[in-house]
Structure 1
Amino acid sequence: MNEDRLTALALGFLRGPGSNARTILGLAGPPGAGKSTLARHLVAEVERVEGPGTAAYVPLDGFHLSAAQLDRLGLAHRKGAPATFDAHGYVALLRRIAADRFQDIYAPDFDRTLDEPVAARHVVRPHTRLVITEGNYLASADAPWPDARRLLRELWYVHTEDAVREERLLRRHLDGGRDETTARRWVNGNDHPNGEYVKAGRAVCTRTVLGSGLHEAPQRGSVS
């Protein structure tokens, strides 16, 4: 069986002493780094090896505030910034995922076509042993993100070169209906500062992996 290195690491959480416990793996990184792609890949590979429902995907993006709430708060122009997430709700869900092995636990997602969060698209089953969660701000030092981090077995930083990320983000905004001028303005004025904020948390992550390929990257100040 040819398991890529990161899949082997994820599968390692399910083997050995205490392997019947539920493990939560976090992926952090700036916008466009490839976190959701990696998370979905790992979930699919773990389920291929261990069986359906043994892994689950829980994205922070499901905790985006709705357009109505962003308008109420005057934050529509900063959508995607830390203040535009229900961070405490996300932490509460992680706590339940860590503690509750008896019920199906439903998790929201973000629908890029609607440009809105949607409820209950993902599910963590009672027999789920590995939950992979990803989001921009999991390595942030600001409250309540350290509370989320304490629930994680490991936190991996997903690194992709800025030029590649920005091209991905530009394409994402164009596909979402923005014209090129507006899309570039959004990348430069919103996605870029958010990404710079995220980079400051890299040192607290367990390891650094490459978002453009499923490989480990050289560590820069990360912990073992």
Structure 2
Amino acid sequence: MRTGELMDLAWRLTARAEGRRAVLGLAGSPGAGKSTLAEALVEGLRERYGADAAAYVPLDGFHLSNAQLDRLGLAARKGSPPTFDVHGYAALLRRLVLEPDHDVYVPDFDRTLDEPVAARHVVRPGVRLVVTEGNYLACDLPGWPDARESIDELWYVEADREERRRRLVERRLAGGRTAGEAREWVRSNDMPNAEIVEASRASECVKLSFHWSGRE
């Protein structure tokens, strides 16, 4: 699907929300293009409807820190479901729906630092649509259904397996890994995580599943 079509579908959620703030969720495997699409939707909707039309809220801001991963023995599984603070993420989504009258600060993940960073984004009081994205939003593992309670509609973003693998290797290279380290991390961690996500693709909570071309 093209970005313009997706913008039209996303904005319709604001009418259905009947005056309250709407939340659109994007699920999909690592490397599928979720964050790029979310940012494109928010930018496009702001251009059409004004600066407060939409805001971006990434699940990646709820990665556990490296110190916590070491404490839990999960450093080698970074990016898997238990390495996220899903309850914190669900609580933030509830705040965004229930507390529309003040700024809500949103964390992000810094790939250079390889750590979450607090308050990189802000959702202003006038924002009508929140676009949030993350690998596991369609999963029924503990905590994720709680997060979905605040999401009005959930879409699944697809991409070819080898294309995702290529993007993920490039991501790891950009993060400072050697070529061998990047390929091994993708093989042993990112692709197994993708299998968990792919199992959720057919969930009844997914309202739209598509390949995003990245073009208008």
Shared fold per TM-score greater than 0.5 = yes
Alignment of 1:1-224 (within 5 A): 4-15=4-15, 18-204=17-203, 205-213=206-214
Q: Deviations over 1:47-84 (max 9, x none)?
A: 11110022100000000001111111111111101111
Deviation at 1:211, TM superposition (A): 3.5
Query: Gapped runs of 5+ residues in structure 1?
Result: 216-224
Q: Deviations over 1:18-55 (max 9, x none)?
A: 54220000000000000000000000111111100221
| 1:214 to 1:25, Cα distance in 2 relative to 1, 3 A | farther
| 1:73 to 1:18, Cα distance in 2 relative to 1, 3 A | closer
Cα distance in 2, alignment partners of residues 155 and 22 from structure 1: 15
Deviation at 1:209, TM superposition (A): 2.0
Q: % of aligned pairs identical?
A: 57
Bigger relative contact order, structure 1 or 2 (CA pairs below 8 A, ≥6 apart):
2
1:28 and 1:155 in contact (8 A); partners too:
yes
For normalisation by structure 1, the TM-score amounts to 0.91
Query: Gapped runs of 5+ residues in structure 2?
Result: none
Runs of 4 or more off by more than 2 Å in structure 1? 17-20, 211-215
Q: Deviations over 1:104-152 (max 9, x none)?
A: 0000000011110000011111111100000000011112101111211
> Helix, strand or coil: the match of 1:165?
helix
Q: Deviations over 1:150-175 (max 9, x none)?
A: 21111000000100000000000011
Deviation at 1:4, TM superposition (A): 1.4
Q: Which amino acid aligns with 1:32?
A: G
For normalisation by structure 2, the TM-score amounts to 0.94
> Helix, strand or coil: the match of 1:185?
helix
1:35 and 1:211 in contact (8 A); partners too:
no
Report how many residues are paired: 213
Cα distance in 1, alignment partners of residues 97 and 177 from structure 2: 39
Q: Which amino acid aligns with 1:208?
A: S
Deviation at 1:212, TM superposition (A): 3.8
1:39 and 1:133 in contact (8 A); partners too:
yes
Aligned-residue CA RMSD (Å): 1.6
